[in-house]
Amino acid sequence: MALPETISLSQARTDFRDTTVGRLLRRPSALLGLILLAGILAMAAFADIAFSGDPLDMAGMPLLRPGEDAAFPLGTDMMGRDLASGIFHGARVSLLIGGVAALVSLVIGIGIGALSGYYGGRIDRALMRVTELFQTIPPFLFTLALVAILQPSIATITAAIGITSWSGLARLVRAEVMRLRNSELAQASIILGASDARIIFRHILPNALAPVIVSASILVATAILTESSLSFLGLGDPNVVSWGGMVGAGRETIRTDPHVAAIPGVAIVIAVLALNLLGDGLNDVLNTKGERR
Amino acid sequence: MLTYLRRSAAQVVFVLLGIALINFFLLHLAPGDAAQVLAGESGAATPEYMEALRRQFGLDQPLYVQFLRYLGNLVTFDLGYSFRQSLPVSELILQRLPATLLLMGTAIGFALVAGCSLGFLAARRAGKLTDTVISIVALLFYATPVFWVGIMLIVVFSVMLDWLPVGGMTSVEANLSGLALVGDVALHLVLPAVTLGLFYLAIYARLMRAAMLEVYGQDFVRTARAKGVRPRRIAWRHVLRNALLPIVTTLGVQLGSILGGAVLVETVFSWPGLGRLAFAALFQRDLNLLLGILFCSSVVVVLVNIAVDLVYTLLDPRIELN
Amino acid sequence: MSDPVSREPVLAVDGLSIGFQTRRGLLPAVRELSFSVRSGEMLAIVGESGCGKSLTALALLGLVPPPGRVTGGTVRLEGRDLLALDEAALRRVRGARISMIFQEPMTALNPVLTVGEQIMEAILEHEPVSRKAARGRALALLERVRIPDPERRFAEYPHRLSGGMRQRVMIAMALAGAPAVLVADEPTTALDVTIQAQILGLIDELRREQGTAVVFITHDLGVVSRYVDRVLVMYAGRKVEERGTRDLFADPLHPYTRGLIAAQPRAGAGPAGAERQRLAEIPGTVPALAAMPAGCAFAPRCALADERCVQAVPPARRAGSGLVACHHAGETHAV
């Protein structure tokens, strides 16, 4: 009994990897998402090599149009800062904050969702009340207040976004865990006397992975949007360049030079679009797999 | 109905308690003591007043006493005083709330009508060019930051075309009244409402398309076809009504996020609502005002959510209020 | 039996074939199926799930869902080939001349429309009558299908009704246009045994009163044996036997039919628990659509199968008043 089961499990795992990635690559929209994301990752990775100076320093004539000066392909803003350099360095900040904030809310959301769904009863009611509370307080206002009080820095912005964006995920994980807790596998483990932690981590969470993976990519996208909104309002880390902050700075000159605000906005759109496309693709691939089984 | 009301009342009380606790926590997180925070920091108030504040809030007493006092103030809607604006916080908020509600209401209305129409159209032409175009547009709007949409709309419709005002809620110089004032406000409302609405339009279009397609696969649609009901009528009467249900649920969940979006839009368009007030409070470090806004907007979300629940029961006869 | 059965068939299906369009080509699900029903007659189409009986039922109304599609044959309703009609013309026939009731009364009614609205719709979509007149007729229909307190039920939403009540509503809806043919796709499967009998009795009574021809799709031979005039047995997309009900039970000719009858619990035998117990099982399973044997599809499960069965599909042969498709039909029945 035990042997064939382990074989079929490992078999299933390799099948899973093959088909998920394979089928993702066969979807044009998901492939486009992956390519765009790879491009942004490359920009973040090579920012220092491509543009060695501080992107916040004045580099050339202010308000150059794109293409006006070959040294500044995307032009400069009213302070003479190189927009292209800002876009490359901004990719780092966006991805870093987006990724880590998503990680924070994944940890909180999965933790609360799993406890709530697994134990049920009073624990569930209490945790769901808290989740409801976090769903009620307008998340962006909450983030704003947190960052304002803690003083904006990469760390506080990341923490604030993570703390305020986990409620939807917690509900999702709770529902999945509740469903899986009643599955035969989990019930069998309970009868065999496995510890709660072991059941949750070995038997339940791995099976709830598909919807979590999909939400994770959407969480990163949302975190990037939130970060850009914060820095647009002037609540970004003042020591680093950020796409949202660049749009905010470009706002001063929209009557004469709208490109200064337009270009970094396009970067945000592309990054968020890439993650959403990837999330949609993953959703389709992981879902249809379940249906065809 | 009675159980429902009791449950919503309990929910309201819990949310108020929770936010009070969070606000209290945030007050203590801020550098300096609460009196400084409440006074708006950096010498906005006289030292005598600071001393009075410290005594009033019992800052020399244990934390739970402080919390209870704070709670007592909130319950009586005493949100404190804004030294920067020289007005009680509750008064400031009540002044600004209508503008925000107008903006949100219009944006939600626009997003619902346009988003559902597009989703409806996409589902009826699933797999065809119309569907593809709508899906791509929705995907783009879904990825576009609200503040940037606002700025780009200003560039196109105010700066380049000069069709619509850049910002504000009324033309200050005109001093209009009556119907002319309504028209003037409406003109000022177009860009902010569209800006705030586009993101949600994208969500509703995607959701509506998916919901319609799912409902199309259900047994009662097959029954309707077997009865010989015309396709158009099936779409409108049988599929649409059922597909609206998840939309209403989503709307309820997103109210908080829409309010957050309103902050950004109000900032971009100088719309004199809560969001702009919050923005001002942020930069004047008027934390008391900021937390008051956070508290009040949460209350708005709870109340509107109860209204959304009621609408849902009207749409779905299976749900009864208990 | 003195049924008011007329001579001319009101519904005549000839050579109906239905397939599923897949990436690997067309998979046939129903092949060359022919049968007919006369006014007031009740025909049962019997078979296991996946034999193509429900697909056949949907094809009678032109409702085969993609990727399925009708690949050949004709379905003549009152002389007109429905498969040749365009969607608009077909729509005018559906619900008016031929209508259908389904297996799941729980999901077959729209949850957000009242029962009355849904019945009225069946009338208003086909006839230029006022809403008031339609309402009156809908109420009469509710009364007709024996729903107590029709005025109140009319304004009720489906979730407030029991499964049996909902199926009655479905029948009322199907009868709204006084159709010539009623297709019933396992309408009693989801119901309790006592309710099953009531619904069957109702359908039987209505077809006698109105002269409606009924095509009754079921997997349960025993349930319908008391009511139907003829039985058509399907296996893996083909008709294997079609006989008068009494003949079929007295002397089943196809080994599959014999298996089906043997699998029926005998009425009145033993306590309630034993009644539901299967008495005999046919070994094996229905072959998959993609792996259909070249010869008789039943051969892999058949005790009588020989070389001939594996190689050639048995043609339908006359057997008394009926038809049977088996190389061994007429041989001794010892199995």
Does the CB of B148 have a partner CB in chain C at under 8 Å? no
Q: Give the chain A residue whose CA is nearest to the CA of B288.
A: A145
**What tokens appear for C118 in the block?**
């849904």
Q: Give the chain C residue whose CA is nearest to the CA of B238.
A: C110
Per residue, the 3-state secondary structure of chain C, as one string, reads CCCCCCCCEEEEEEEEEEEEEECCEEEEEEEEEEEEEECCCEEEEECCCCCCHHHHHHHHCCCCCCCEEEEEEEEEECCEEHHHCCHHHHHHHECCCEEEECCCCCCCCCCCCCHHHHHHHHHHCCCCCCHHHHHHHHHHHHHHCCCCCHHHHHCCCHHHCCHHHHHHHHHHHHHCCCCCEEEEECCCCCCCHHHHHHHHHHHHHHHHHHCCEEEEEECCHHHHCCCCCEEEEEECCEEEEEEEHHHHHHCCCCHHHHHHHHCCCCCCCCCHHHHHCCCCCCCCCCCCHHHCCCCCCCHHHCCCCCHHHHHCCCCCEEECCEEECCCCCCCCCCC
A to B CB pairs, distance under 8 Å: 142
> Of B65, B89, B113, which residue constitutes the final position of a domain?
B89
Of A233-247, B201-215, C263-277, which gets the smallest average pLDDT?
C263-277
- Looking at the 3D structure of chain B, how many domains does it have? 2
Does the CB of B55 have a partner CB in chain C at under 8 Å? no
The verdict on a CB contact (< 8 Å) between A148 and B147 is no
Contacting residues of C for B233, CB less than 8 Å apart: 121, 125
**Beta pairing partners, C241:** C233, C324
Q: Give the chain B residue whose CA is nearest to the CA of A220.
A: B143
Q: Give the chain A residue whose CA is nearest to the CA of B295.
A: A137
Residue-wise pLDDT for B121-174, tens only, equals 998 888 888 888 998 899 899 989 999 998 888 888 887 787 877 777 777 766
B77 & B39 share domain: yes
Domain with B215, as residue range(s), is 97-285+297-315
Interface test with C, best of B223, B238, B247, B314 (most C CBs within 10 A): B223
pLDDT at B108: 92
Residue B112 lies in a domain: yes
Of A9-18, B226-235, C20-29, which gets the smallest average pLDDT?
A9-18
Contacting residues of A for B152, CB less than 8 Å apart: 258, 261-262, 265
Percent of chain C with pLDDT over 70: 91
Nearest to B145 by CA among C26, A4, A224, A15: A224
Subunits close to C (at least 3 CB pairs below 8 A) = B
The verdict on a CB contact (< 8 Å) between B282 and A235 is yes
Min Cα distance B145 → chain A (Å) is 6
Of A279-283, B52-56, C305-309, C310-314, which gets the smallest average pLDDT?
B52-56
Q: Give the chain B residue whose CA is nearest to the CA of C119.
A: B227
pLDDT at B35: 66
Highest mean pLDDT among B221-235, B286-300, B306-320, C259-273: B221-235
pLDDT at A223: 92
Subunits close to B (at least 3 CB pairs below 8 A) = A, C
Residue B238 lies in a domain: yes
Residue B292 lies in a domain: no
pLDDT at C266: 56
Q: Give the chain B residue whose CA is nearest to the CA of A218.
A: B143
B280 & B203 share domain: yes
Cβ neighbours of B41 (radius 10 Å): 19
**Beta pairing partners, C214:** C42, C182
Contacting residues of B for A221, CB less than 8 Å apart: 143
CB-based touch C/A (3+ pairs, under 8 A)? no
Q: d(Cα C166, Cα C178) in Å, to the nearest integer?
A: 19
**The pLDDT of residue C1 is above 50:** no
Contacting residues of B for C94, CB less than 8 Å apart: 225-228
pLDDT tier, C43 (very low <50, low <70, confident <90, very high otherwise): very high
B80 & B149 share domain: no
User: Distance between terminal CA atoms of chain A?
Assistant: 22
**The pLDDT of residue B188 is above 70:** yes
Min Cα distance A57 → chain B (Å) is 24
B127 & B252 share domain: yes
**The pLDDT of residue C183 is above 90:** yes
Cβ neighbours of C286 (radius 10 Å): 19
Section A254-261 average pLDDT: 78
Section B62-70 average pLDDT: 76
**The pLDDT of residue A184 is above 50:** yes
In chain B, residues 131-160 whose CB comes closer than 8 Å to chain A: 139-140, 142-148, 151-152, 154-155, 159
Residue B322 lies in a domain: no
Section A18-26 average pLDDT: 70
β-pairing, C322-324 with C238-244? antiparallel
B60 three-class SS: coil
Min Cα distance B320 → chain C (Å) is 12
User: What are the start-end ranges of the E strands in chain B?
Assistant: 81-82, 87-88
B136 & B272 share domain: yes
**The pLDDT of residue C333 is above 70:** no
Of A222-236, B262-276, B304-318, C39-53, which gets the smallest average pLDDT?
B304-318
pLDDT at C132: 92
Contacting residues of B for C157, CB less than 8 Å apart: 317-318
Does the CB of B88 have a partner CB in chain A at under 8 Å? no
**What tokens appear for B90 in the block?**
């509750």
Q: Give the chain A residue whose CA is nearest to the CA of B145.
A: A225
Rounded to a whole number of angstroms, the CA Rg of chain A reads 23
Which own/partner pairs from C17-23 qualify as long-range (CB within 8 Å, at least 24 positions apart)?
C17/C70, C17/C71, C17/C72, C17/C73, C18/C52, C18/C55, C18/C56, C18/C59, C18/C64, C18/C68, C18/C69, C18/C70, C18/C71, C19/C68, C19/C69, C19/C71, C20/C67, C20/C68, C20/C289, C21/C66, C21/C67, C21/C68, C21/C69, C22/C67
Q: CA triplet B236, B237, B242: central angle to 5 degrees?
A: 95
Section A179-185 average pLDDT: 78
Question: Which residue among B226, B317, B318 sits closest to C99, beta carbon to beta carbon?
Answer: B226
Residue B8 lies in a domain: yes
The verdict on a CB contact (< 8 Å) between C121 and B225 is no
Question: Which residue among A144, A221, A229 sits closest to B278, beta carbon to beta carbon?
Answer: A144
The verdict on a CB contact (< 8 Å) between B228 and C110 is no
pLDDT at B33: 63
C16 vs A248, residue with greater confidence: C16
B132 & B53 share domain: no
Q: d(Cα A157, Cα A147) in Å, to the nearest integer?
A: 6
> Of B38, B65, B89, which residue constitutes the final position of a domain?
B89
B56 & B162 share domain: no
Q: Are C34 and C14 in contact (CB under 8 A)?
A: yes
Min Cα distance C56 → chain B (Å) is 14
Q: Which fold has domain A25-46+75-287?
A: MetI-like fold (1.10.3720)
Q: Give the chain B residue whose CA is nearest to the CA of C170.
A: B223
Any residues with CB less than 8 A from the CB of B215 and at least 6 apart, and which?
A: B221, B238, B239, B242, B243
Question: Which residue among C109, C157, C159 sits closest to B223, beta carbon to beta carbon?
Answer: C109
The verdict on a CB contact (< 8 Å) between B261 and A140 is yes
pLDDT tier, A2 (very low <50, low <70, confident <90, very high otherwise): very low
C330 vs A190, residue with greater confidence: A190
Q: d(Cα C144, Cα C206) in Å, to the nearest integer?
A: 9
Nearest to C137 by CA among C147, C148, C126, C123: C123
Residue B290 lies in a domain: no
State chain C's maximal CA–CA distance in angstroms.
67
Residue B104 lies in a domain: yes
Does the CB of B128 have a partner CB in chain C at under 8 Å? no
B170 & B47 share domain: no
C-alpha pair distances (Å), A19 with each of A16, A209, B267: 5, 16, 47
Question: Which residue among B142, B148, B259 sits closest to A138, beta carbon to beta carbon?
Answer: B259
Section C139-158 average pLDDT: 90
The verdict on a CB contact (< 8 Å) between C99 and B218 is no
The verdict on a CB contact (< 8 Å) between C159 and B317 is yes
Exposure string for B247-281, b = 16+ CB within 10 A, e = fewer: bbeebbebbbbbbbbbbbbbbbbebbbbbbbbbbb
Residue-wise pLDDT for B229-266, tens only, equals 998 899 889 998 898 888 888 888 888 888 888 888 99
Residue-wise pLDDT for A84-115, tens only, equals 777 888 888 888 999 999 999 999 999 999 89
The verdict on a CB contact (< 8 Å) between B226 and C94 is yes
B to C CB pairs, distance under 8 Å: 81
B110 & B139 share domain: yes
pLDDT tier, C17 (very low <50, low <70, confident <90, very high otherwise): very high
B33 & B182 share domain: no
> Of B89, B119, B147, which residue constitutes the final position of a domain?
B89
**The pLDDT of residue A16 is above 70:** no
Residue B237 lies in a domain: yes
**Helix and strand element counts for chain B (H, E):** 13, 2
CATH number of the domain to which B121 belongs: 1.10.3720.10
Does the CB of B219 have a partner CB in chain C at under 8 Å? yes
Contacting residues of C for B318, CB less than 8 Å apart: 111, 157, 159
Residue extents of the structural domains in chain A = 25-46+75-287
B107 & B250 share domain: yes
Q: What is the pTM of this model?
A: 0.80
B25 & B144 share domain: no
Contacting residues of B for C108, CB less than 8 Å apart: 219-220, 222-223
